[in-house]
Chains A and B, each alone.
Chain A
């Protein structure tokens, strides 16, 4: 089965609302990364977060290894946040990175 499951598959927000994106993994974790995929396809690294909580501006990532989950919180969403958010886990090293299917976020004015 799918080693990395993301939810929700899609999300529509009004500008200013907060969002919580989830990533659950079924096998052991060595690292967890979050990426933003632009509409044209290119990827931007958001967080490398194997455990604990990290914050960058309006984004916060929390990984709880015991519960096999990681989350990405977006506060005060903006239209420019629209796109697809991907999480990816590595069970050993970056040599094998498994991606989730992504959460497609749409922020409307």
Chain B
């Protein structure tokens, strides 16, 4: 069975500090990977997607970047956090275009 794990579960960070959120998928080779973001009370927005190692496409930037250093790992990061980065970050995977998305448990970020 496939599993998806996100870390950390929650963070409180200061404005201007760096951020790194991680996502690992086990049990599935070459998954499509996605990052989503949801402001408190807001709509889920797709940030990035990747269909293969080393390739990441940006959908909405928000002064964030993403990388896929390994087939099963997806990293979301920034060197300087903004207050507007607060929210809930979800990682997801799918078997390919047009297939069901499976989400991780999410990482909640509060920027102060």
Contacts and interface: CB of A to CB of B under 8 A. Distances in A.
Interface in B68-112: 88, 90, 92, 94, 96-106, 108
A48 B94 CA distance: 12
B44 A45 contact: no
Q: How large is the interface on B (under 10, 10 to 19, 20 to 34, 35 or more residues)?
A: 20 to 34
Residue among B59, B97, B101 having the largest count of chain A Cβ atoms under 10 Å: B101
A42 B105 contact: yes
Nearest to B96: A94
A97 B108 contact: no
Interface in A3-29: none
Contacts of A92: 97
Contacts of B99: 48, 94
Contacts of A50: 98
Interface in A51-109: 86, 88, 90, 92-102
Contacts of A30: 98
A97 B98 contact: no
A96 B45 CA distance: 10
B43 interface: yes
A41 B108 contact: yes
Given A96-B59, A97-B46, A42 B98 contact: no
B38 A97 contact: no
B24 interface: no
A88 B100 CA distance: 11
Contact of A101 (B34, B43, B51, B100): B43
Interface string B15-32: 000000000000000001
B57 interface: yes
B34 A94 contact: yes
Interface of A: 30-31, 33, 35, 40-45, 48, 50, 86, 88, 90, 92-102
Interchain residue pairs A-B with the least CB separation, the first 5: A93-B97, A43-B103, A99-B44, A48-B100, A42-B105
9 contacts: A30-B98, A40-B106, A42-B103, A42-B104, A44-B103, A45-B102, A94-B99, A94-B101, A99-B43
